[in-house]
Structure 1
Amino acid sequence: MKVTLFGCTHPHSKAHLKTLLLSERISDVHVYDETPGDAEEAAQADVAISASHATVESALADSPDVGVACLSNDRNADLCIQLLESGVHVISEKPIGATVEDVQKVVDAAQSNGLRLGVMYQNRSHPLNQEARRIVQAGTIGRITGCEARLITSQVRFRNPDHWLFKRDVSGGGILSWLGCHYLDLLRFVTGSEIQDVSAMVGTLSGEPIDVEDVATVSLRFDGGFVGSLQAGYQLSLSNSGYMGPNYETYMSIRGTEGRVVWEPSGTETKLLVESTQWTDAPSREISFSLPTVDAYGGAHGLAFLDAFLDATEDLDLPTPADGTDALQIARIIDAAYTSSESGRHISLES
């Protein structure tokens, strides 16, 4: 299988490239970037890269089976559509596009061309999240009554405030769009329930010259009848610089009538705390995981996520691990959060 990475300067491009080179599903890895020399430099840095391209047309002429879309948010949707209309399956960095309308156009292009569209919600494949989902959806904690997520990470000053991620006209949003999206998706994934109502307050409190939110509190109502929340912020004052090694303070809990599940999705501890009145012999348990060391984006589970998508491009009966409709739903939720914060109103998502 031939896979091309489109975009070599995205904050996650190098990590995605490592994953592509590790996948046994892939025989040829190509790279593209519009900035002169960037793709060639990436190719020269690793002899395993088969070719570099300075135009999308050149990359398409080599007939990739799959494209990994990693341009800035304002340009990424157009790239995805171009690839899909050229017969190329696409897996994209989130959020796929800067607006709900952009993401919708990409989803429509994938459907009209009969091609796979994936989104990089690799956290779904982490064993902690997989086990939490299994426990919750097996009814071990009873009927869900609430859920809570928290994602606090390094301050904006550690992340280059001049980056396009902090320019609303390019990124489309701040921490909700860049990181909070993962946790909103996990709440949907683990509970198996859709978010239907949103109330939110967001702010820009870092003191840096940015025009996107760096703190957010979002209240949610799910179609299962229960309520939940997400707190997100670029707020940690002690951290490593950059995008691939910052500190995190994270928490997730799903609570039900007969128990709860608690874990740290981005923490250093790989364990679940599970309480269930159904377990009369030991109602409170800790489930620990020993994870292999793999130099892929997200480790072994990140590689497994990519491979699952690649498998789904070859066998259309297989599900994709996270598809364009997931990205579209998250885009709608985040857009509702911004509307709620600006208007002071509770927002119901249209079905």
Structure 2
Amino acid sequence: MALEDYFQPFSQRDWEREDVDGTVRMAVVGLGGFALKRALPAIAAGKYCETTTLVSGSVRKAATTAERYDVEHVVDYDEFRRGEVADAYDAVYVATPNALHGEYVRAAADQGKHVICEKPLETTAERARELVDVCADAGVTLMTAYRIQLESTARRTREIVADGYIGEVVQVYGGFSHPVLETTSPDTWRLDPDLAGGGALVDLGIYPLNTTRYLLESDPVAVNAWTCSLEPAFDEVDEHVTFTLRFPGEITASCTASFNAHASSHLRLVGTDGMISISAPFGGVVPQNVIVERGEFSVEYTGNPDDEVEEEFDYFGYCVLTGTEPGPSGRDGLEDVRVIDAAYESAETGQWSDL
């Protein structure tokens, strides 16, 4: 395939293979900033999901949000666990702090509801594996909310890599930093290790980790990591992290993440014959700026930004309606938590951790 063919049309939904009728009725569990600012608007803008139930511990917030999005049912967490309005929804979006994912995924599975759960799937590999098993036993779909996998830039890049246009991938470089205290208060759950399961690695480093696995279609065999915390606000979690992944074939990925650095994200894949660079891949609305180089030949593509959150929910709804197994499955989420556990072990021991 000629390089230009990957960009025509760039934003095609290659997963949308058939026409489907109806929508998946969603219960949104947890009304934090991301759910309010990104998830609920994305569901409303999409065509395969609709929000019919809100679950929150704040009556005022839930009532205001329900009015804004014309949502009929509002329940608190205890009422949700009891399944009091379970007939009003077909699937559940879990957007609570990380350590609380498990109880709401289990409650949804017990009700026979499909689940899309925010990343990381859980705070330890053991707990994540339990959720995968619970949903499999219940016969319900479990999707981990890796929205970048549904974004056009990542999907076209994966095709270019798989077709060998840049030869054999040798090295990957990825980074994601965000000054967390500029947008949240110091008492945010993200700085509580019991609720978050970690710091910059869990919250930001998971993006280059999962995206590299997705683009290479491979899982790492070992990880080496280093973490540090310099400011008192980050005493209990990692403020900065650097980790190296080793993949089969001696491919390496060098990744960084920071809770206290200028907002930035980047991804670059270097192959034996060429290189692909993606600007700002991890921000939520990807600008679709991709540079592909091969020898003396270089092509830069810039398209209209994708709202990958809208793509994510439409993809989830489509999978549920068609009975299709989602690409970013629960097992995908489990694998990342396994790597994160091993990375923290490496940071503590100063040695490579095998996977």
TM-score computed with the length of structure 1 as normaliser: 0.87
Whole-Å separation in 2 of the counterparts to 1:28 and 1:11: 15
Secondary structure of residue in 2 paired with 1:202: strand
Between the aligned partners of 1:173 and 1:271, the Cα distance in structure 2 is 31
AA of the residue aligned to 1:168: P
Letter in 2 for 1:143: E
Structure 1 residue 28, shift from structure 2 partner: 4.9
Contact 2:225 2:242 in 1 (8 A): yes
Contact 1:273 1:284 in 2 (8 A): yes
Q: What residue ranges of structure 1 are gaps of 5+ in the alignment?
A: 238-247, 293-298
Matched, 1:284 2:309: no
> After the TM superposition, which of the residue ranges 215-224 and 34-43 deviates more from structure 2?
34-43
Q: Which residue identity is paired with 1:347?
A: S
Match of residue 311, structure 2, among 285, 304, 308: 304
After superposing on structure 2, the runs of 4+ consecutive aligned residues of structure 1 that deviate more than 4 Å are none
Match of residue 278 from structure 2: 263
1:128 to 153, 159, 165: 153
Deviation at residue 47 of structure 1 after TM alignment:
4.6
How far off its partner does 1:326 sit?
A: 1.0
The equivalent of 1:329 in structure 2 is 335
SS across alignment from 2:49? coil
- State the one-letter code of the partner of 2:354: S
Amino acid across the alignment from 1:52: V
Please give the alpha-carbon distance, in whole angstroms, between the structure 1 residues aligned to 2:238 and 2:51: 39
Counterpart in the other structure of 1:99? 124
Instruction: Provide the residue aligned with 2:25 in structure 1.
Output: 2
Q: 1:308–1:321: 8 Å Cα contact kept in structure 2?
A: no
1:182 partnered with 2:182:
no
Give the aligned CA root-mean-square deviation in angstroms.
2.0
SS at match of 2:232: coil
Distance 1:38 1:159, change over 3 A: closer
Higher helix share: 2
Question: Which residue of structure 2 lines up, in the alignment, with residue 16 of structure 1?
Answer: 39
Give CA deviations for 1:172-227 in whole Å, capped at 9, x if unaligned: 11111112112111001111121110000011123325411010000110123211
Q: Which moved more, 1:265-274 or 1:113-122?
A: 265-274
Partner of 1:250: 265
* Contact map agreement 1:118 1:323 (CA 8 A) in 2: yes
**Residue 60 and residue 94 in structure 1: after superposition, are their counterparts in 2 closer, same or farther (change >3 A)?**
farther
**What is the CA–CA distance in structure 1 between the aligned matches of 2:48 and 2:289, rounded to whole Å?**
30
Could you tell me which of 169, 174, 177 is aligned with 1:152?
Answer: 177
Counterpart residue number, 2:244: 219
Question: Of 294, 316, 321, which aligns to 1:314?
Answer: 321
Shift of 1:132: 1.3
User: Which SS does the other structure have where 1:102 is aligned?
Assistant: helix
Name the SS for the 2:204 alignment partner.
Answer: helix
Q: Output the CA distance in 2 between the equivalents of 1:258 and 1:273.
A: 14
The residue type paired with residue 159 of structure 2 is R
Secondary structure (helix, strand or coil) at the match of 1:260 reads strand
8 Å CA contact 1:270, 1:288 repeated in 2: yes
Within 1, Cα distance between the matches of 2:50 and 2:298?
47
1:197–1:221 Cα contact (<8 Å) kept? yes
Partner in structure 2 of residue 51 of structure 1:
73
Q: Is the 8 A contact 2:52 2:89 kept in 1?
A: no
Q: Whole-Å Cα distance in 2 between the matches of residues 202 and 261 of structure 1?
A: 28
Give the direction of change, closer, same or farther, for the CA distance of 1:14–1:285 in structure 2 (3 Å limit): closer
Residue 86 of structure 1 is matched in structure 2 by 111
Between stretches 15-24 and 320-329, larger displacement belongs to 15-24
Report how far residue 157 of structure 1 moved.
Answer: 5.0
Select which of 133, 144, 150 maps to 1:108: 133
- State the Cα distance separating 1:29 from its structure 2 match: 2.1
Q: Once the 2 structures are TM-superposed, how far is the Cα of residue 71 of structure 1 from its aligned partner? A: 1.6
Distance 2:287 2:95 in 1: 30
Q: Percent identity?
A: 24
State the aligned residue count: 326
Deviates more, 1:53-62 or 1:307-316: 53-62
In the superposition, the TM-score normalised over structure 2's length comes to 0.86
Choose 173-182 or 46-55, whichever is displaced more.
46-55
